[in-house]
Each structure stands twice: as structure tokens, then as C-alpha cells.
Structure 1
Amino acid sequence: MDGQVLSVKKWNIIYPIYINSKKTIAEGRRICATKACENPTCIEIGDCCSYLKLPFAIEIDKAYPRDFMQIGRVRVCLKREDGTLVNPAIRSKKQLMLRVAELVPKHPGRVKKQEAAVASTTSGSSKSGKAGKKKR
């Protein structure tokens, strides 16, 4: 990495909730639902940062303050100590969140999961799914 990078404590923090389309703005989503992705993980966000050639650190021991069940966050370095951008294409935290949300659905691990899900739904049972309460 050329140039000196800021200490990890000064890096931007991205919680998976920030780009989760299943969450509301009140629950912590930071970008519009149409651009957000479904249930991202810290590992997927980290992989997207490495793809964008940004230094990052995954912190598994931390939780989102508003929902402590959401564990993990990613610290990302956008600027060096001299103030120059690490990746000139990403100028702000908002741009980073939008770019990561765009990349997560294309993540290799996620593509395999979707293919498996499609295979299991097509070979599922032929039962109609309209089951009601039993009458006594």
C-alpha cells in the first residue's frame, strides 16, 4: 500500500444493517431500500472492500448499538494520513455503502447459495400449501 494509512481507530465503520434492505431507516438502514441488499454479512462487506482495493478490518466482537443481536462490523479506510483518497472512485462513506450494496449480491458465496435455493424450491413437494386449522 503506498502512502501512510490512518490508524484503524480513525477508519469509517460500516455495520451490515446500514445496507440491509430488510431493515427500515428507523432500524438503522442508511441507504434507500431499492439500492440496499438483502441480509449482508461482515465477511461479504469485507470481500467487497478488498475488491475495491480499500484496506479494511472485520470486528466480530462488536455489535450494532440499536440492535445488539446484529453482531459484527467492518472498519474501512477511505483516506490516507495526508488526506488523499485510497480509491479515487470512492470519495465518501455514502458512496462506499452504495458500491458495497451493489457488489454483495454478486458475491461468489451468495451466488452459490442462490443456486442451491433455486434447486431446492424446484424439487420441493407438490402439496398446495393451503393448510388450515383442523376442525373439532
Structure 2
Amino acid sequence: MQVEAPNIKKWNVIYPVYINSKKTVTEGRRVSATKACENPTCIEIGDCCSYLKVPFAIELDKAYSRDFMQRGRVRVLLKREDGSLYNTDIGSKKQLMLRVAELIPKHHGRTKKQEPANTSTATTGPSKSGKGGKKKR
């Protein structure tokens, strides 16, 4: 349900940092670490918004102001022009962030990535014996 509208600048913005459990509050996280998810992407947030029937637009060329290496953001529209909600379960930006953070660990892209890792066996490399580390000066 990705919608292009001329008034997209008035939509709410969600950066992946807002729901990243690896970040601190000072780095930009806005939900509790226990409810946040690990390293979300804009695409995953967009997929969750689509699942929740909330109009969204992904802006990959934008960067988070506190960390310009963090690329991308998602714009969401919670209310219609008449003031009614698109999804009656989600009344605020905070509620949307919490629901998205719940859904991302179940995202099909993440579950597919984890399956091969569980079936493979870890092999240990050759152990180093003898000298190693820094050289003496």
C-alpha cells in the first residue's frame, strides 16, 4: 500500500534507529530496548507497514541526522484527511513503532536467513601455537 501523495512532507517519519535494540537512547532509540528489534531496515519497516495496512513511503536517499551513515527512512500516514485512522489498532506513532518492532523479527527475510545458519555445523580453524601477537620493540 505504498502511496505517493503531494503532501508527503506532512507524514510521520520513522528512522530504523528509533526501533534498533543495538542503539542507546542518546543514539536515537525511542522504544525500550526490550521491545526494540535488532538492526531493522527501511524495507522491513515498509513491509510491516504494508502488513498493518498503513500507507508508507520509503526514502532511501535520506540519512538520520545524528548518524549520517544510517541511510534511509520511512514516512507513514496514520490518519485520513477526515481524521479517521487507517488502522484502528494504531492511534499514534509510538504504537506503530512498537508494532513494527514486534513484527520485524518474524519478517520473512529474517527467518529465511536464519534457517541455513541453524543447519550448518561450525568448524574450528587450526589453533595457533607458539608465538603470536605484538612484536617487541
Instruction: Decide: shared fold, TM above 0.5.
Output: yes
Which residue of structure 2 aligns with residue 50 of structure 1?
50
* Equivalent position SS for 1:69: strand
Q: Which amino acid aligns with 2:116?
A: A
Q: Which amino acid aligns with 2:16?
A: P
**1:98 equivalenced with 2:98 (yes/no):** yes
Which residue of structure 1 aligns with residue 40 of structure 2?
40
Aligned residues with identical type, % of pairs = 72
Judged with a 3 Å threshold, the aligned counterparts in structure 2 of structure 1 residues 32 and 131 are, in CA distance, closer, same or farther, namely: farther
Shift of residue 128, structure 1, vs aligned partner: 9.0
Judged with a 3 Å threshold, the aligned counterparts in structure 2 of structure 1 residues 78 and 131 are, in CA distance, closer, same or farther, namely: farther
Conservation of the 8 A alpha-carbon contact between 1:6 and 1:79: no
Return the TM-score normalized by structure 2. Answer: 0.86
Shift of residue 133, structure 1, vs aligned partner: 6.2
Conservation of the 8 A alpha-carbon contact between 1:6 and 1:80: no
Moved over 3 A (4+): 126-133
- Worse-superposed segment, 76-85 or 125-134: 125-134
Two-structure CA RMSD over aligned residues (Å): 2.4
Which residue of structure 1 aligns with residue 66 of structure 2?
66
Return the TM-score normalized by structure 1. Answer: 0.87
Conservation of the 8 A alpha-carbon contact between 1:17 and 1:23: yes
Q: Which amino acid aligns with 1:49?
A: C
1:92-120: CA deviation from partner (whole Å, max 9, x where unpaired): 00000000000000000110111123234
Q: Work out the number of aligned pairs and report it.
A: 131
Shift of residue 89, structure 1, vs aligned partner: 0.5
Shift of residue 82, structure 1, vs aligned partner: 1.5
In the alignment, the residues of structure 2 paired with residue 40 and residue 116 of structure 1 have an alpha-carbon distance, to the nearest angstrom, of 20
In the alignment, the residues of structure 2 paired with residue 65 and residue 112 of structure 1 have an alpha-carbon distance, to the nearest angstrom, of 32
In the alignment, the residues of structure 2 paired with residue 86 and residue 6 of structure 1 have an alpha-carbon distance, to the nearest angstrom, of 18
Shift of residue 129, structure 1, vs aligned partner: 7.7
Which residue of structure 1 aligns with residue 132 of structure 2?
134
Larger radius of gyration: 2
In the alignment, the residues of structure 2 paired with residue 67 and residue 12 of structure 1 have an alpha-carbon distance, to the nearest angstrom, of 19
Structure 1 gap ranges (5+) = none
